[in-house]
Structure 1
Amino acid sequence: MKRVSIVALALLMVVSAAFAQGTKENAAAAGQVELTVLNYIDMSEPNSANEIAMIWDKFSADNPDIKIVREDLFNEPFHQKTEAYVASGKLPDVLYMWPSGRSTSLHTTHSVKDLMPFLVKDGLVSSYNPATLVPQFAGYVAELPNGITTTHMLYVNTKVLRDNGLTMPKTYEEMKAMVQPLKAKGIDLIAMDNMDAWVMQSCLFSMVVGRMGGTDWFPMLEAGKINFNDAWFVNSLKLIDDMYKSGMINRNSLTSPYGSSRGRFATGKAAFYIDGDWSTGSFQTDTTTGQALIDRKGQEEDFELVVMPALPGEVIHNSNSGVLGTGWGMSANLAAGSAKEQAAWRLIKFLQGEYVQTYRLSIGASFPSNLKVDVAKVVKDANLEPFVAKRAAYYAAYNTITPVIDGVLAGDVYNVINTGLQEIGLGSKTPVLVASEVQKAWDAWKASNK
């Protein structure tokens, strides 16, 4: 009888504890602040699934008073949804965005808040690289950036070069001379995915324009001292035309979806691959599967990260195109001082804090803007893959940065450039004609924005 009573008492205690816990959880749920988030993620990329657990699930576990309702999109569907939100005036509370370019409408409509007052209030200004806190397209810090992004990187398969008796080219002409000997072996010179119009403009042409026009080409253009019909721009277009005509870049790249040729490059079907710095992570190990397009040994011995060699007619050498990195913004619809605003800022601080930026560094997703992240120490202590260290060396070696076209020009102008580059690739328009169309778009934009 006594034994039964003890069992009954134990059961009662378990039920009571469970009821109390359930009541506590319900109370917490009832007091939760709900945040809607528009996230940018390619679920086909290495570590994407792990990112959900390492970042979003961790935030939810550490912040039970905040409920995250997340929408995951990538590439054009993401940008189309962003524009729809801007048009409706009903933005998610927190959203991934660019400092200009594809997020221009968020800036010009002031749909997002200035984050500098939040940084100042929390004493965080000194925690970030000063270059990442400069005013953005709308004249204020609309998004807290991941870092500085260089949009051009020349990935080199040095094993392909060695196996074919070739060495790293020092000039454009030396590089072009490799087309025929490699083609005879069934190997492409350059792999690139140009179906999406932004890729050529951002990942190659912006760098070429900087080499031809110099670091100050955009201020000079704004001041009316140069225009798009001048040699610096026409010759930039002519170089892209020559790359297609000579077979340095195959015309069939215009039907290749973004990221689809990385595997071909990694397996030696191309000597070079052109993309942005962010794609280093695509070649590294997926911690979920343990698989990598390029293993550690290959990263160390058979691949290098550089920029295009000397171009004919360039006025600066070894320069690159760069822009403030992407990051996180906060909807201007959130009431000042409200619980939602506080929750949104807590999320943004976490997403650009030491923990997340260290994690993103470890998988090669981005280099930190947060100065609390000691890159060299993290690389050493965590025994990170060679591409992480090589990426750090790349930033040190190629530190002359020129503007990215869609980072400084309005969509009415850069979209004409994007389309024109594809038309040059198809052989349907000449560089001179495209240049004149870009100049007309620039004149029209200036006239409507006086």
Structure 2
Amino acid sequence: MTRLRKILTVCLVLAMGMAMVFANGSSENSGTTTIRVMNYIDMSEPNSMNEISMVWDKFAELHPEITVIREDLFNEPFHQKVEAYVASGNLPDVIYMWPGGRSTSLQTTHSVKDLMPFLEKDGLVSSYNPACLVPQTAGYLAELPNGLTASHMMFVNTKVLKENGLSIPKTYEELKAMVPVLNAKGIEVVGMANMDSWVMQSCLFSTIVGRLGGADWYEKLAAGEINFTDAWFVKSLELVDDIYSSNVINRNTLQIGYGSNRGDFANGKAAFYIDGDWSAAAFQTDITTGQALISPADQQANFEMMAFPVIPGEVVHDTVSGVVGTGWGMSANLVAGSKEEAAAWELIKFLEGEYVQTYRLETGASFPSNLNVDVNKLIDEKGLEPFVAKRSAFYNSYTTTPVIDGVLHSDVYNEINVVLQEIGLGACTPAQGAARVQKAWETWKANN
């Protein structure tokens, strides 16, 4: 982006922010406190419209003294807008964010407040899973998470496997052996949507790196004990190269936009589908329409959730990449003790409270960080869809290793993203890619 474009972007965001405040009038005049919110939502997903009424309208009903001006965006448009807000210094009062990775700029610029003092003041620390309250990239609790997230989940269409005389693979070799059998029937082995460069890195490669590098690979890297040019990382890239070249994952997935081929998997056009755990919600019933990509009956009888099978040379077993989940942060621009700060915290408490986290569990959006939400009790008493119970069992079956974009700076993980796509296209060898990532890592260390 040129300097002129950056200036124009900042000016546009400033103008939009001023327009939003002007359009809604003064809090003093209206008798309410107005706060701006940056929300992350895919309006094409099941239950997205229902979320507006169940969550945002509910908050408005409970808190008529607070006016919320909400901006809804998804995927790259959301992240691009956040970067523009950070550059302008005109951040919305409450913002959906990540503990690191895609929210690196929010965290490293300390554009958001530490939420731990707010939790402590209200006596809410014990209400949350302690693993969700650890310091994040900013060095403090910059966002209150929805829960813990597995960035890797491998969905299985067991009906497709049975119809083709196959069973759930225990090893990569067994998975690879399915290629000729399934391709002969016009069925893909593993479906993914890899056009967005983060998907392969976050949803599969991070798990591969964890298996071959160990759960502590990042700590060893940061301590200078290992490098990206060492065997653990080169072999990880070699496996991705083999996955593409053997057609375990078709190269055409590099032209598929995120989330757009879930229906193909649900309809039996692929035997497996790899995504993050959050994608389970896309297959469940839309409360508004009563429709589901995978019916509850099929969820129970014909689909399972697993991790990528055993990889040759792995040093840890039964692991998936995981990280503290997304959640809500508060702008550092809010004056301490102000009505706006109090209103922003009231909204965050609601969004991460028992009511909303129960709703998110029921719709498959996330598993709760709030300990007041009893998952097993809700599954039994409310008869939640089978994918909810199977997802709970999934979490109990695997331990986690780091998500690459959750621990590395964007200057480094973006290079990994590009390398992975070029390997998929056959434009880069694993050794070349490893050398480029190592250079990016050394450059970042030298400048920080």
Contact 2:27–2:33 (CA under 8 A) maintained in structure 1: no
State how far apart, in whole Å, the 2-side matches of 1:262 and 1:179 are: 20
TM-score, normalised on structure 2?
Answer: 0.94
For residue 28 of structure 1, report the CA deviation from its aligned partner. Answer: 9.9
Tell me, in whole angstroms, the C-alpha distance in 2 between the residues paired with 1:28 and 1:260.
46
Which amino acid letter does the alignment assign opposite residue 416 of structure 2? I
Equivalent residue number for residue 401 of structure 1: 400
Match of 1:416? Answer: 415
> Could you tell me which residue of structure 1 aligns to residue 351 of structure 2?
351
* Aligned residue in 2 for 1:90: 90
Cα distance in 2 for partners of 1:319, 1:41 equals 29
Q: Shift in Å at residue 271 of structure 1?
A: 0.2
Specify the alignment match of 1:249 in structure 2.
249
SS at match of 2:279: helix
CA contact (8 A) 2:27 2:34 kept: no
Q: Determine whether 1:265 maps to 2:265.
A: yes
Distance 1:112 1:216 in 2: 29
| Structure 1 counterpart SS, 2:205 | helix
- Name the structure 2 match of 1:137: 137
For the Cα contact (< 8 Å) 2:190–2:274, is it kept in 1? yes
State the secondary structure of the residue aligned to 1:387.
helix
Conserved in 2, the CA contact under 8 Å of 1:158 and 1:302? yes
Moved more, 343-352 or 313-322: 313-322
Alignment of 1:325-344 (within 5 A): 325-344=325-344
Q: Is the 8 A contact 1:158 1:304 kept in 2?
A: yes
Structure 1 stretches lacking a partner, 5+ long: 1-25
Q: 1:177 to 1:140 in 2, by over 3 A?
A: same
Q: Is the CA contact (8 Å cut-off) linking 1:94 and 1:331 kept in structure 2? A: yes
Q: Aligned residue for 1:154?
A: 154
Checking the alignment, whether the CA contact within 8 Å between 2:154 and 2:305 is kept in structure 1 is: yes
What is the alpha-carbon distance in structure 1 between the residues aligned to residue 41 and residue 442 of structure 2? 36
- The aligned counterpart of 1:289 is 289
1:300–1:386 CA contact under 8 A, matched in 2: yes
8 Å contact kept, 1:41–1:73 = yes
Residue 314 of structure 1 is matched in structure 2 by: 314
What whole-Å deviation, never above 9, does each CA across 1:385-429 have from its counterpart, x for those lacking one?
00000000000011x211000000000000000000000000000
Quote the residue 1:164 is aligned against: 164
Q: Does 2:228 correspond to 1:228?
A: yes
User: Cα RMSD between the aligned structures?
Assistant: 1.1
Structure 2 segments unaligned to the other structure (5+ residues)? 1-25
2:197 is the counterpart of 1:197 = yes
Q: Is the Cα–Cα contact under 8 Å of residues 83 and 105 in structure 1 kept in the other structure?
A: yes
1:32 alignment counterpart: 32
Q: What is the letter of the counterpart of residue 72 of structure 1?
A: D
Distance in 1, matches of 2:422 and 2:180, equals 25
Partner of 2:323: 323
Q: Alignment identity in percent?
A: 69
Counterpart-to-counterpart distance in 1, 2:54 and 2:334: 27
Q: How does 1:74-113 map to 2 (within 5 A)?
A: 74-113=74-113
Deviation string for 1:351-407 (max 9, x for gaps)?
000000000000000000000000011111111100000000000011x21100000
Structure 1 equivalent of residue 17 of structure 2 = none
Question: Are the aligned partners of 1:280 and 1:387 in contact in 2 as well (CA < 8 Å)?
Answer: yes
Report the counterpart of residue 48 of structure 1 in structure 2.
Answer: 48
Secondary structure, counterpart of 1:388 in structure 2? helix
1:161 & 1:292 partners in 2: Cα distance? 22
Q: Distance in 2 between matches of 1:206 and 1:228?
A: 13
Equivalent residues in 2 for 1:373-412, closer than 5 Å = 373-398=373-398, 400-412=399-411
- How many equivalent pairs are there? 423
- In structure 1, the residue matched to 2:444 is 445
Aligned equivalent of 1:436: 435
Q: What is aligned with 1:122?
A: 122
Contact in 2 for aligned 1:215/1:401 (Cα 8 Å): yes
The amino acid that maps onto 1:448 is N
Quick one: which amino acid aligns to residue 318 of structure 1?
Answer: D
Deviation at 1:29, TM superposition (A): 7.2
For residues 172-192 of structure 1, give each alpha carbon's deviation from its aligned partner in whole angstroms, at most 9, with x where no partner exists: 000000000100101000000
- The 8 Å contact of residues 171 and 310 in structure 1, kept in 2 or not, is answered as yes
Specify the code of the residue in structure 2 equivalent to 1:123: G
Larger C-alpha radius of gyration, 1 or 2? 1
| Conserved? CA contact 1:29–1:65, under 8 Å | no
1:401 and 1:339 map into 2 onto residues whose CA distance is 40
